[in-house]
Structure 1
Amino acid sequence: MQIWDVGTGQGFSQYLEHQKRAWSVDFSQTDPMKFASGSDDCSVKLWSINEKSSVGTIWNPANVCCVQFSASSGHMLAFGSADYKVYCYDLRHDRTPWCTLVGHEKAVSYVKFLDANTIVSASTDNTLKLWDLNKTSSTGSVSGACTLTFNGHTNKKNFVGLSVFDGYIACGSETNEVYSYYRSLPMPITSYKFGSIDPISGHETGYDIGQFVSSVCWRRKSGMLVAANSTGSMKLLEMI
């Protein structure tokens, strides 16, 4: 991983312990000096900006695709795995998961805390799932904590992005579209289709086979969303 100074545009620190591709990095909002990374080497590494070496390692049975700190607690960390599961850890007791969420049928590509007790996960099984952490336990894998499954977008292969804001959930789709859901409704509330850009002329065309929306991010305290697709096109969208 590389940390950059956005004021100067210069990189100032590298962290080199992962043995394979690092998929995901997330900073703790309650302790901005702390961050976590997830990798294909089946580990989550915990870091302090002031330390060159990791301050902790969580080993997982399969590749780690995504990591996410809870915004309300610096001790709570969730990550998605290639073994179709979401693992939640209390970092004060990191030898075993606090809970393991089971229900997806393929790799979990993203996890996001919707609030202190609710997680949204995305998977290449074409679904998002909403999990109630109040219905979990540390005794083993939990499937009954899934309170809702969201269907409508297409996601069978690629990582298409996931972002949450004030109960709204946005994700990309392999149909070159952005989808938005609300936490209590299983079907999309709206969608937006990217136009296809011809790489030579720069003009939009109707041919977009193979293109997909790869990243989405809500702007805080607004209904605005930025989305990007696999050809490098970016759109700024607004909920009305």
Structure 2
Amino acid sequence: MFGLIAQRNSTGTIWTPANICCVQFSSLSSHLLAFGSADYKISCYDLRHTRIPWCTLTGHGKAVSYVKFLDSDTLISASIDNTLKLWDLKKTSLEGLSPNACSLTFCGHTNEKNFVGLSVLDGYIACGSETNEVYAYYRSLPMPITSHTFGSIDPISGYEVSDSKGQFVSSVCWRRKSNMVVAANSSGSIKILHLI
């Protein structure tokens, strides 16, 4: 595996004029790759044919911070436009942009400047928020199904207090084959949560 890192040449190059914010391989296909960029778009590539994207998804109003494959036909994206979007890859166009592939927009969390994390598992979606909360959505519901507020730790008492002073949840991750999610915030607090 380390031999790949020491290669003098890459096995392929994809060039795009926009700044790339995130990249994700599909865990269900050995040849699918998606990335989100600062130009508000998501590009999906078949690694067997990297000259042009097999689809370009448009609909976000600001930079795309995360993309995750929910299943082989569905992609979730997060943006600093305060939304998550669910994309039906069966509705994409091979020519030009695919704005009609967005089948649902999720709203409820706050995300305007920081990358707040995104994780998916079995139709459930977790993301952070700039309100120092972690949110959970389900793939068919546009509003959150639940949320959890982080407190901040008082440096003198060591106890959690409700004033978060600009902190935000910066990372989330579902545990495979369980209803557990781990979330971390910008002050270094990590919580393990159960979705009940």
The answer to whether the superposition gives a TM-score over 0.5 is yes
Greater CA drift, 162-171 or 205-214: 205-214
In the alignment, what sits opposite 2:126? 170
| Residue 179 of structure 2 corresponds to residue 223 of structure 1 | yes
Number of matched pairs = 196
Residues 65-90 of structure 1: CA distance to partner in whole angstroms, max 9, x if unpaired?
00101111111000000000000000
| Residue 28 of structure 2 corresponds to residue 72 of structure 1 | yes
Residues 93-116 of structure 1: CA distance to partner in whole angstroms, max 9, x if unpaired?
101111000000000000000000
Deviation at 1:201, TM superposition (A): 4.0
Aligned partner letter, 1:93: H
The higher relative CO (CA closer than 8 Å, separation ≥ 6) is in: 2
SS in 2 for 1:73: coil
Residues 114 and 166, structure 1, Cα contact 8 Å, conserved in 2 = yes
- 5 Å-filtered alignment, 1:119-130, equals 119-130=75-86
Aligned partner letter, 1:186: P
The answer for unaligned runs of 5 or more in structure 1 is: 1-32, 35-46
In the alignment, what sits opposite 1:148? 104
* Distance change (3 Å), C-alpha of 1:216 and 1:145: same
Greater CA drift, 202-211 or 133-142: 202-211
Deviation at 1:203, TM superposition (A): 2.2
| Residue 137 of structure 2 corresponds to residue 137 of structure 1 | no
Structure 1 Cα separation of the partners of residues 148 and 91 of structure 2: 34
Deviation at 1:57, TM superposition (A): 1.7
Deviation at 1:144, TM superposition (A): 0.2
Residues 16-65 of structure 1: CA distance to partner in whole angstroms, max 9, x if unpaired?
xxxxxxxxxxxxxxxxx59xxxxxxxxxxxx9356354322211121100
Residues 162 and 217, structure 1, Cα contact 8 Å, conserved in 2 = yes
Residues 126 and 156, structure 1, Cα contact 8 Å, conserved in 2 = yes
Structure 1 Cα separation of the partners of residues 5 and 176 of structure 2: 25
* Distance change (3 Å), C-alpha of 1:208 and 1:73: same
Residues 48 and 55, structure 1, Cα contact 8 Å, conserved in 2 = no
Residues 138-175 of structure 1: CA distance to partner in whole angstroms, max 9, x if unpaired?
10011000000000000000000000000000000000
What is the CA RMSD across the aligned residues, in angstroms?
Answer: 1.6
In the alignment, what sits opposite 2:16? 60
Structure 2 Cα separation of the partners of residues 104 and 82 of structure 1: 10
Greater CA drift, 50-59 or 224-233: 50-59
Give the structure-2-normalised TM-score.
0.96
* Distance change (3 Å), C-alpha of 1:101 and 1:156: same
SS in 1 for 2:56: strand
The answer for unaligned runs of 5 or more in structure 2 is: none
Task: Find 2:72's aligned residue among 87, 91, 116.
Answer: 116
Structure 1 Cα separation of the partners of residues 158 and 9 of structure 2: 45
